[in-house]
Chains A and B, each alone.
Chain A
Amino acid sequence: MSAPTAARPALPGRLIRTLEVRMLGLALVIAVGLSLMSPYFLTQNNIFNILDQSVVIGIVAVGMTFVILTGGIDLSVGSVAGLTGIVLGLALRDLPIPLASAAAVAAGAFIGLISGVLVAVFGLAPFVVTLGMMAIGRSLAYIFSGQTAISGIPESLSAIVYTTVLGIPANVIFLLLLYLAAWAYLTYTKGGRTIYAVGSNREAARASGLNVLGYSILPYVISGALAAVAITFSIAQILSADPLAGNQMELDAIAAVVIGGASLYGGRGSIIGTLIGVLIMVMIRNGLNLMGVSPFWQGTAIGSIIILALLAERLFNWRSAR
């Protein structure tokens, strides 16, 4: 069915056809709704709160976006965060902060490398490989930590959170720079476009001479490394490394990426969409807290909103396809 050359739709039409714009609209609707329900929601204080709460999940979601774009999934990010947090906590006993953080990030990247090689070289299903890594990571986190949280983290680590530039906390600035870099990488570099091409049609990418193997592994390495970066920010805030940290983080990250419009089959999605997805998730949780909704009900609320967002998206696509 060749479509006859469609006239270029007017600007509003083009915008509404862009998924990021629709999701941004959804985010604004949620923000307005929450500010109506809670006058505190739109205060400067709470906005910083929301941004601050977005940092950890936002960093992990970047790695998850890379993995999902190739058609994979990384279920291990939560327990990799837990394990690398313990690595950081232990390393800080003997090493200066930069070296200890580097060790944690290297550990995360190494676990990602193992997953990536198993997936890309041996062709194992990403779901299963990272499910295995999830179990291994959590188990090692308990063993290395001796089943208890590691305290006594040097207070100077918290400086990375509480430094501000022009009144904006350093961790928020880091988050925004990370998204900027990831966006530029995915949009303007050979590697970034290769990741999209691999996720969209692996065979065609291979036949066109793209490095399919390398760019199938890289996203897992990035995901593992960013899980370690994320937990570093988290530990800097609470000054304690808990083997249970990062529990269920993978679910939030995947939800954010999917709300941001990525396809779990790969090839489709964007880093801007993911950022919006993260903000939607955090705003909802924050708003529910402000309204005093029981934490036990929050899961139901967030789950429903994820499903409704995807359902609306699917209905929209059906309507424009028919």
Chain B
Amino acid sequence: MSNPMSAPDSGPALVARSVAKRFGSTQALSDASLEVRAGEVHGLLGANGAGKSTLSRIICGHVGRDSGELLYRGRTLSPRSTREALDSGIALVAQETSLAPDLSVLENIFLPELGRPGRLSFPDMRRRASDILARLGRDHALPLDQEVRRLSAAQRQLVEIAKALALDADLMIFDEPTASLSPSEVDRLFDILARLREQGHALIFVSHRLEEVFTITDRVTILLEGRTVAASLDTARLTQTDIIRHMVGRDLGAIYATPGLDRRGGARDPVLEVTNLSARPIVRDVSFTVHRGEILGIGGLVGAGRSEAMEALFGLRPRDGGTIRLKGREIALRRPVDAIRQGIGFVAEDRRAQNIVPDLSVRENLMLAHLGRHRGFGLGYRQRQDRVGTLLAQLGLPTDRMDASLLTFSGGMQQKIIMARWLLIDPEVLILDEPTKGVDIGTRSAIYRILRDIADQGVAVVVISSDFEELLGVTERVVVMSDGITIADLPTPILTEEKLTLLAAPRSSTTRNRALLETLAREHGAFAWWALLEEDSLICLGTAAAATAPPLDLRAGEALHPRDTPIPRALAARAQGIVTDGALATLLVPLRNARGHDLGWIGLTAAADTPLPDPGQIAAQVRRLTRDSDDIEGDAA
């Protein structure tokens, strides 16, 4: 950087060297370095509290640095305000926090311009907004006149990105951008990131989720306790273990606790049985059972109504139907305290908004569910005192910070304390909504082990998670919800992320598939079904039967071994022709979406004496119906 004026284009866009920052008694950054090139996605990784956000905020001018060097395109950068950073072309894409919810999409995209003198030209802004969205490949994804308040999380993020582009930002920092997105929305975001990379932007991607880091980043820099411990490593040469080792400073072993060491087969007692629970308009028909000592997963996309269903169960949200049985006895839960006294615990999703009481000490936060359950005028803390000690030891929590504020703890520690809050009252059932959201990877594996432990102690554990990998790693069984309805209940070992994605697809987006099944069933007098098919399992995604169809015992959301179906030969053969099993004739056609993604198989089963149509004709019919529609992708694209 001896001559900044002649810095070559291929040089690093941003260089940070030995940046340090102290907040009060906390040394947030001590020796952080980072180098980002134009045209790359650079992962900035680290456990919670490692200083990722502080470094991002220093680069964007939200906070100043105490020492260290910051060069942007070869020039020293000392943003004293967000405005200065924006003017030099650096923007932070925050998590929907920097939008004005009551203004329109258009006004939000150009929000920074409102802070500049001069008149605004709305037609001009509208044209520029369309250009920007076209560059992102999302031309019509945003209604420009809509109020931001009414957008989905993914749409809001798109507004944030468009806003950064409206400022001609060359360096964009994405801070945990996928936290509230569904898997398909994450894919779309990654499409956008890839486009921005091609257009020569330098992108910093801050995330906890390693699988995303591998998908999208070119290089990564890893922070540990405020210092850079691995700088600009090529992502392609790294393994997950490498990254975790850098992030926690040691080898971690397996992230997920080995599930089911102590599985005693299917004969366990059901503890909580929920049938036809509804809390309209979001929760429409939810049924599931969880057994003693089991970890049940509730999977689905953001917005499928999973949290709402659990809140309705717990008495936080009015129900308008359904029965709840605890150990076989029907119980009436009107308020959370009813559920708590029956032995149900609930770790809600949003730690800061729903769990932490900031002005009470750690001790009192621990005691909060006890206090809710306690009958009497006093506090009754003493009766739980011994249990607190054992719990803290069991969860690996410090015992000498009981009078501190919970806010001074890391996200992972906070989560453990909230879990301890419920374990303290010895629940029969513990429901956890996104238990590892905002929790660093080291603590995540600890939380998984704790879940395993408490299940092994006989608690029925229910885990809601949008992270399919987590669901597969932690649970023994997964109930999938879509559009407020439980649509599948399957053992974890037969599931994969792809299968979960297909199962979790919003019902609205599979309308075409279901219409296709209806049409096929009607036209051919047959039983039409859509399923994922493997050597030893069949997962049914949808069915339709004509009046004259032979009864086939397949139901959507069910998994069967092919040999337990009436059509084992057809399933084994998977031939592009009619295969008969006794009195049943079956025709199988593979289902692909427009981009060639495997979406399973469409099957048509009829009595052997009914003339089934020519296989080619069916295949053509399926293709025709799927060709020009995005809907049939089942959101799996």
Chain A interface residues (CB < 8 Å from chain B): 1-6, 8, 188-191, 193-194, 196-197, 199-201, 203-211, 263, 267-268, 320-322
Contact = CB atoms under 8 A, between A and B. Distances in A.
A322 B24 contact: yes
A2 B337 contact: no
A196 B354 CA distance: 15
| Residue of A194, A210, A263 with most chain B CB atoms under a 10 A cut-off | A210
A190 B374 CA distance: 8
A210 B379 contact: no
B3 interface: no
A190 B371 contact: yes
A188 B379 contact: yes
Question: 10 smallest A-B Cβ distances: which pairs?
Answer: A209-B372, A2-B410, A2-B49, A209-B337, A267-B359, A200-B359, A209-B340, A208-B368, A208-B372, A3-B26
Given A6-B25, A190-B377, A193-B379, A208 B356 contact: no
6 contacts: A1-B26, A3-B25, A196-B360, A203-B348, A207-B346, A267-B359
Nearest to A7: B25
A295 to B, nearest CB: 38
Contacts of A210: 337, 368, 371-372
Given A196-B359, A196-B360, A267-B359, 6 more contacts: A5-B398, A199-B359, A204-B355, A205-B368, A207-B348, A208-B421
A208 B315 CA distance: 11
Interface in B362-409: 364, 368-369, 371-374, 376-380, 398, 400-401, 408-409
Nearest to B314: A207
Nearest to A266: B359
A129 B110 CA distance: 39
Contacts of B372: 208-210
Contact of B378 (A4, A188, A203): A188
A197 B360 contact: yes
A210 B372 CA distance: 4
A170 B398 CA distance: 49
Contacts of B400: 5, 8
Contacts of A207: 314, 316, 336, 346, 348, 354-355
B348 A321 contact: no
Interface in B321-365: 335-337, 339-341, 346, 348, 353-360, 364
A321 B314 CA distance: 38
Contacts of A201: 353-354, 356-358
A4 B372 CA distance: 31
B408 A3 contact: yes
B28 interface: yes
A271 to B, nearest CB: 15
A205 B357 contact: yes
A193 B364 contact: yes
Contacts of B371: 190, 193-194, 197, 208-210
Given A1-B26, A1-B28, A1-B54, A191 B377 contact: yes
Contact of A197 (B23, B346, B357, B401): B357
Contacts of B23: 1, 321-322
B327 to A, nearest CB: 20
B413 interface: yes
Nearest to B53: A1
Contact of B336 (A4, A206, A322): A206
Contacts of A4: 25-27
A268 B405 CA distance: 12
A201 B352 CA distance: 9
B48 interface: yes
A31 to B, nearest CB: 30
Contacts of B335: 209
Contacts of B348: 203, 207
Nearest to A211: B337
Contacts of A194: 371
A263 B359 CA distance: 10
Interface in B85-130: none
A320 B24 contact: yes
A197 B372 CA distance: 11
Nearest to A192: B379
B238 to A, nearest CB: 25
A211 B315 CA distance: 13
Nearest to A265: B359
A2 B26 CA distance: 8
B79 to A, nearest CB: 19
B452 to A, nearest CB: 24
A263 B358 CA distance: 13
Given A190-B379, A191-B377, A322-B24, A268 B359 contact: yes
A5 B401 contact: yes
B401 A203 contact: no
B354 A203 contact: yes
A204 B25 contact: no
